[in-house]
Every structure is written in C-alpha cells, then in structure tokens.
A and B are shown apart, each in its own frame.
Chain A
C-alpha cells in the first residue's frame, strides 16, 4: 500500500459572499494522478490553492506526508518549496530568463551553489524539452513554451507532488498538445500529480481517478472509464456529454 502524500479533511473556504469549498475531503497516494474537473466558478482553483498552502482554508486541515500544515506555527515557506504548483495563467517571473525562472528557487530557497543550481535547472528544462530556450525571456516564448518552463520551475525543486491548476486552459488550442505531452512523460515516470483539467482525452490516458467537482463539493469520484461510460450522477453525466461533444467537434 503506497503512502498518502497529500490529504485534506473537511476543508472549507468561505469568502465574504460565497462559499468556494464546502467540506471537501480527499487524499492522494504516492505515484497517483488525480484529475479534478467541473464547471468554471465551482471552486476548483480555490481548492487547489488551499491544498498548495497558497490560500488559508477557513476550516479543515491539509496534510502533506502525514504532517498537518494548517496548524499555526508551521513554516509555510519551507512546506511550499516541496509542493510544485503550475498556474493557469503561467505566471513566470517576467524579468528572468527561462533558466533564471527555474534557478531562482534552487538558489534562494534551497540555497544551492551556483554551479549545482545551474545543472539542476538545466536538467529540469531538458525534461520539458526547453533546454534550447534557456536564455529566452518569458515574453519571447509562446504560451506552450512558457507553461513548460512553468512545469520545469516546479519540477526542479524536486517536489513530492505537483498541483496543476488548468495548465492548458489559457493556451491556444494548437499549443495544448506540447504541454499535455510533457505531462504524459511525467506521468510515465510516476510523478504524483493533482491536475485540474478539461482535456478529456488526456484525462482518460493518465488519470488513476477523476473527481467531478461542482459548487464547491465533490459530486462523484472514480476511475476515468466509469466517467466515460456510465457516470452515476446526472450532473456529471451532462457535463461529460458536453465536454466530449466539444472535443469531438474540434
């Protein structure tokens, strides 16, 4: 039985006017890939950010490798360093080259010497096939290339899990493939991932389990095949039908 890498119990996130996450519990085991999907505005990003400790949940606890990180007094910076996060809108550091983006955490968080940081950053860029572009600035790269650098930035820190918040949804359709290919390669290597995505073909291939999320709650979870053949909830069924129809049209 593999170890639980990340877990949340009875997680709530309540903003002034809306409740974004309602009593969510889930866990991810080592080497597992879980894929969360659901309508926009359903609280998926908020959940991802709570799990990555980028947002403080209102109630409930987040555990990483058995340690509760929602208690007061936890060193969040240290904890975040080993949790990879890939943003929907990419958010590379504009003033640094691709290599600089990947190196920053290695140098300033892990405090690696210059040479070692460079080697490790180059290796991470190689893994996402961006080594040749190491000296380009984000604004000189295409969206897909930028997102691959974003993945390398997370990867270089040697995370035990990578959380990806709709990594392809801000990209032009023709650029999605290069990012999903990169993620497929990571999946093959056994990287533990929590992915928010609506790329259904990709989901079917890589996910161990899919979670349908709506109005801040988990509506249904199970293996991808079940979602593609006979989802048990009506809401999930309708949503799947729409998504699949959209994909086949393209």
Chain B
C-alpha cells in the first residue's frame, strides 16, 4: 500500500480538479439552463429554435469531440491558447446546461398553466409569476433528474484526460504506469469516484425530501 500513500498528494490534486469541474459545470449549467428553459417556453419561435440548435448540438455530439473543439479548433481559429482547466469548465457547463434545460423545461411545464393563471389573477406579472410561483415549484421537482445529471457529469469529467487534464483519472493513470500496480491503482480511483458520487447523491436525496412540499405528491 506504500505506493498509494506515495501518490496520495497527486491523487488529491486530481480529485480536486474533478470536484471543481463537476460542481462548476453542474451549478453554472443550472444557472444557464434556467434562462434557456424560460426562453424556450416564452421566447417565441426564433429564440426557441436557436435554443433547440444549441441543445441538440451538445446532446447529439460526443463529449470528447466537444472538448477537442474548445481545446484545439477554437483556439487555432482565434490564434490564442486556452488551458485545459478553463476548457473543462466551459465545455462541461455548456454541455450540462443543454441537458438540464430539458429537465427544467419539463418541470416548468408540469406546474405551469393553472399556477400561472392563479398568479396572474392576483396581479403578478408573467415574470414575477415565473420567479415566485413557477420556478420554486419546478426546481423542487427537478432535483431527482438533477442528481442524475450530477452523477453522469461527475464521471464524464474523466474525458479531460484526452486534452491533458490532470484530473482524478489522470492521476490514476500516472500511478498505474509508474508502479505497474494496474489493478490496485484503478480500483482505488474507482472507489474514490464511487464514494464521493454516492455521498453527493445521498445529500441531494435528503435535500429533495427536505424541500418537498408538505402533503403534496409529485411525480416528475
């Protein structure tokens, strides 16, 4: 087990990268997904078509290809250099927003019509109705889907390896190739993924039950 201890600092650094990119991607993805969902629902035909293109591009192409576009193609076109960490943050945010938009839009549609009419009837504007009535309910409903998205994104960050990122999987690879303890190295890395992902999923589960509207049965 000595070799693991020896590599711990490196694994820890890789783990930090993975955590940072994941959380940043999911949270910024959410921040971007909310206006996308609202734009798709209320923005009219042109806005909703643009959003559809964006979503289909990110859902319909390979994540590694997206990383390559942001790491190689765009910088070459613009004649600049972008480091792999920034590329990771941007690509995972845009990718995750595309998925999350669908979940949020679905949740908004499920609470939308009667709640909106009721909100308008007391004099709230459409925007206020979305902020104070539709979103608070939709975001509660969306938590289970959101936790799936987190789970999937957390693992996808391993694709950073392909653009030279030093994430958790990269640390595992370094350890495996330098010690030749291939089985132990990757098992250890997999265990770390497993532990932190299940912890966060459990936390989201608790959150879901905590913010659940008392007495109301919802199916998302």
A77 with B123: in contact, given A108-B128, A137-B214 (CB under 8 Å)? Answer: yes
Which one of A77, A79, A91, A140 lies within 8 Å of B114 (CB-CB)? A91
Which one of A80, A93, A140 lies within 8 Å of B214 (CB-CB)? A140
Q: Are B124 and A95 in contact (CB under 8 A)?
A: no
**A87 / chain B contacts, CB cutoff of 8 Å:** 114, 117-118, 121
Q: Are B117 and A95 in contact (CB under 8 A)?
A: no
Is the contact region of chain B dominated by helix, strand, or loop, or is it mixed?
helix
B215 within 8 A of A: yes
A94 with B123: in contact, given A137-B213, A140-B214 (CB under 8 Å)? Answer: no
Q: Which 4 A-B pairs have the closest CB atoms?
A: A81-B123, A139-B215, A105-B122, A91-B118
A95 with B140: in contact, given A52-B121, A89-B114, A108-B132 (CB under 8 Å)? Answer: yes
Bound CA–CA A105/B121 (angstroms): 10
Bound CA–CA A128/B150 (angstroms): 46
Would you give the 0/1 interface string for B92-130, flagging 1 where the beta carbon is closer than 8 Å to chain A? Answer: 000000000000000000010011011111111100100
Q: Are A109 and B122 in contact (CB under 8 A)?
A: yes
Range for the number of chain A residues in contact with chain B: 20 to 34
Which one of A91, A137, A139, A154 lies within 8 Å of B115 (CB-CB)? A91
Q: Are B216 and A80 in contact (CB under 8 A)?
A: no
- A positions within 8 Å CB-CB of B: 52, 54, 77-83, 85, 87, 89, 91-95, 104-105, 108-109, 137-140, 153-154, 157
Which one of B122, B136, B217 lies within 8 Å of A157 (CB-CB)? B122
Query: What is the count of residue pairs linking A and B with beta-carbon distances less than 8 angstroms?
Result: 78
B161 within 8 A of A: no
A80 with B120: in contact, given A95-B213, A137-B215 (CB under 8 Å)? Answer: yes
Q: Are B124 and A92 in contact (CB under 8 A)?
A: no
Q: Are B122 and A104 in contact (CB under 8 A)?
A: yes
B111's nearest neighbour on chain A, judged by CB, is A94
B202 to chain A minimum Cβ distance, whole angstroms, is: 24
A107 to chain B minimum Cβ distance, whole angstroms, is: 9
A186 to chain B minimum Cβ distance, whole angstroms, is: 17
**A105 / chain B contacts, CB cutoff of 8 Å:** 122-124
A81's nearest neighbour on chain B, judged by CB, is B123
A95 with B137: in contact, given A89-B114, A137-B215, A140-B215 (CB under 8 Å)? Answer: yes
B19 within 8 A of A: no
Q: Are B123 and A109 in contact (CB under 8 A)?
A: yes
A83's nearest neighbour on chain B, judged by CB, is B121
A77 with B118: in contact, given A95-B137, A104-B132 (CB under 8 Å)? Answer: no
Q: Are B118 and A95 in contact (CB under 8 A)?
A: no
**B117 / chain A contacts, CB cutoff of 8 Å:** 54, 87, 91
26 residue pairs A–B, Cβ–Cβ below 8 Å: A54-B120, A77-B125, A80-B122, A81-B123, A82-B123, A83-B121, A87-B118, A91-B115, A91-B117, A91-B118, A92-B118, A94-B115, A94-B213, A94-B216, A104-B119, A104-B124, A104-B132, A104-B133, A105-B123, A108-B128, A108-B132, A137-B213, A137-B214, A137-B216, A139-B217, A153-B122
B218 to chain A minimum Cβ distance, whole angstroms, is: 8
Question: Which parts of B131-175 form the interface with A (CB within 8 Å)?
Answer: 132-133, 136-137, 140
A109 with B124: in contact, given A94-B213, A137-B216 (CB under 8 Å)? Answer: yes
A80 with B114: in contact, given A137-B215, A139-B214 (CB under 8 Å)? Answer: no
**A137 / chain B contacts, CB cutoff of 8 Å:** 213-216
Q: A95-B137, A157-B123 are in contact. List 13 more A-B contacts (CB 8 A).
A: A78-B123, A80-B120, A81-B122, A85-B121, A87-B117, A91-B117, A94-B216, A95-B133, A95-B136, A95-B140, A104-B133, A140-B215, A154-B122
